[in-house]
Amino acid sequence: MKRLTTITIALVVLLSPVFAAKKSKKTTETDRQYWCRLAYTMAQPVLENMAKGELQKNMQTEFSPSFDSRDRRVVYMETFGRLMAGIAPWLTLPDDDTTEGQQRRQLRQWALASYKNSVDPQSADYLCWGIAGQNLVDAAYIAESFLRGFDQLWLPLDDTTKQRYINEFQKLRSIDPPYTNWFLFSSIIESFLAKAGAQYDEFRVNTACRKVEEWYIGDGWYADGPVFAFDYYTSYVFHAMYLETLQAMVEAKANTRLDYKKYHERALKRAQKFAIILERFISPEGTFPVIGRSTPYRLAAMQPLALVAWYQKLPKDLSNGQIRAALTKVMHRMFDIQQNYNEGGFLTIGFCGSQPETADWYTNNGSLYMTSLAFMPLGLPADHDFWTSAPEPWTQVKAWGGKPFPKDHRWADDIQTKDKW
């Protein structure tokens, strides 16, 4: 009888509405909250340490098994510059009292302190300026972060820090870049200097623009130099840095032989076409083709898609709900299952997890913070249609699900340019 009473009480408790509510209660995370959590997880160990001048002391570093003879201190500049280029749009949003707003405010405060430390010779986190050609690459990402968050990340810096950056950027002219995407590293730095009102090298900007035009092969694709390789450097560097170089020159009101506004309009159309290609690369399962070199850059392959979404310039065949759903699916596929961080909270070498064999001779785990470049739509406010619209199926979901989907045809350049004199 006692046992029967116990069972009866247990059943009543299990079936009661209060108990059921507690058992079934789940915290529903929105897509934006998920993106913010990933971005904060990635940024916090870097910026919190660097703001205190302790990144070089505490960062758990990792280098390619075939890493070349370059100075290994480049890892810290790569980490900081590439991370900031990705999260800068997010940090431009105004402060608020939400959880996200508090995280964003904290990251911005750490970032401003980190910017100062990176050019302060007395700081333990003074970066390795002037020691290697690699400095040109990652100084370019720092300059790009200033362009993406000019009012919130550049203007608040004190005059001494600003002048130190200008000096360091100008010294990089001694580096002769390889005949590749590196031309754009020079142009992004010089165009930033132009926008900041400092002395800039017009020749480096215009030579990069002319070369990029020569290397455009059509339908959204650029060759990384005179010979085309089927890789993601069109994503990693070309579209974003070319557009931002041109935009900065427009904003600087630079008067040279090139019509930067027309060049920008054409480059934007190419980026829109490439965004269509990238969207079609995303499978129903949230995977995309792993091709070419530098695969550990992970989500940086999606940078042009993220960029045109942040610009609010998606082509008509792509909707906000569609792109958010597709990119969120990729993030879940990449970051929910595999171990992408080491014990210190820093990214590991790999594409989806720890895969050191994917590294090239120039890869370290600072290089990998380029994956933050896919997070640029966080620069759109929480009430923007990108975040509030219902999720929609992307092209491969429609195609493999037997649903109608748009055709895809070649886009031709319809804007012609010529020197103004």
Give me the pLDDT at residue 95, please: 93
Q: What is the full DSSP assignment across 151-197? A: IIIITTS-HHHHHHHHHHHHHGGG----SSTHHHHHHHHHHHHHHTT
- Mean pLDDT of all residues belonging to the chain: 93
Which of 414, 397, 412, 408 lies closest to 277, judged by CA?
A: 408
Check: CATH 1.20.120 for 29-63+71-400?
A: no
The CA–CA distances, whole Å, from 385 to 95, 161, 214 equal: 20, 37, 37
- Residue numbers in the chain where pLDDT is lower than 70: 1-27
Backbone torsions φ then ψ of 278, nearest 5 degrees = -60, -40
Q: 383: which 2 tokens?
A: 């009430």
Give me the pLDDT at residue 338, please: 75
Q: Decide: 50 and 109 in contact? Cβ < 8 Å.
A: no
Q: Decide: 288 and 279 in contact? Cβ < 8 Å.
A: no
- CA 397 to CA 282: how far, in whole Å? 9
Give me the pLDDT at residue 26, please: 54
- CA 372 to CA 228: how far, in whole Å? 26
Q: What is the full DSSP assignment across 335-383? A: HTTS--B-TTS-BPSSSSS--GGG--TT-BTTGGGGGGGGGGGGGS-TT
Q: Decide: 180 and 214 in contact? Cβ < 8 Å.
A: no
Give me the pLDDT at residue 367, please: 97
User: CA angle, 148 as apex, 304 and 364 as ends, to 5°?
Assistant: 65
Q: 88: which 2 tokens?
A: 């800068």
The CA–CA distances, whole Å, from 229 to 43, 226, 258, 291 equal: 32, 10, 28, 10
pLDDT tens for residues 107-159? 999 999 999 999 999 999 999 998 889 999 999 999 999 999 999 999 999 99
Domain ranges in the chain?
Answer: 29-63+71-400
Q: Count CA atoms within 13 Å of residue 110 on its CB side.
A: 25
Backbone torsions φ then ψ of 4, nearest 5 degrees = -65, -40
- How many helical (H) and strand (E) elements, i.e. helices and strands, does the chain have? 17, 2
Using only the alpha carbons of the chain, give its radius of gyration.
23
